[in-house]
Structure 1
Amino acid sequence: MADDFHKVPPSFDLAGNASKGFNPALIVLLLVGGLLLVFLVGNYALYIYAQKTLPPRKKKPISKKKMKKERLKHGVSAPGE
C-alpha cells in the first residue's frame, strides 16, 4: 500500500508506452480540420480557374422604354420625336 504512493500516473510517465495510440478526440479534430482545409483550398482553386477560363458575363439588354427614360433624364431627346 505504501508502494502505491510513489507510482507515477501514466499521463506523466515520460518513458511511457508509445503503443497506446492517439486521443480519439484529436483524431476527429484533425480529420474534420483536414477536410475543411481541403474544401476551402479546392474552392479557391476552382474560383481562380473559373476566373481565368470563363468569359465575362453578358449584360442584360436594356429595353427601349427604359433607354428612352434615361435619355429624357439626361436632356437628350429620343430619336423620332
Structure 2
Amino acid sequence: MLSNNLHVLLEQKNAANDIEANGFDPWLIVLLLVGGLLLAFLIGNYVLYMYAQKALPPKKKQPISRKKMKRERLKQGVAAPGE
C-alpha cells in the first residue's frame, strides 16, 4: 500500500515536471501578442476619435459654386436672376 502511494506520488511529480519543462505553447504566445496589439490599436483609435470629436472644430463646408447654384435653381424651376 505504501509502495503504491509512493509510486502514484512519483508519477504526479514527474507529470508536473514535464508540464513545467514544456512551458507555454509558442503559438499561444504569438496569438496573445498579436491579439493584444490589435486590441490596443483598436482601443487607441477609438480614444483618439472620441478626443478629436470633442477637441477639434467642426469641418467647414465648401462654398457652392455659382454654376452649381444656377443648375440647382433651374432643376427646381426657379429662373435665375438676370435671365
**TM-score of the two chains, using structure 2 as the length reference:** 0.68
Is 1:59 the equivalent of 2:68? no
Q: Distance in 1 between matches of 2:25 and 2:67?
A: 69
What runs of 5+ residues in structure 1 fail to find an aligned partner? 1-7
Aligned-pair RMSD on alpha carbons?
Answer: 1.7
Aligned match of 2:20 = 19
The structure in which a higher percent of residues are helix is: 2
- The one-letter code of the counterpart of 2:50 is I
Q: Name the % identity.
A: 72
Q: What is the CA–CA distance in structure 1 between the aligned matches of 2:38 and 2:74, rounded to whole Å?
A: 54
Aligned residues: 68
Alignment correspondent of 2:35:
33
Structure 1 segments of 4 or more deviating over 3 A? none
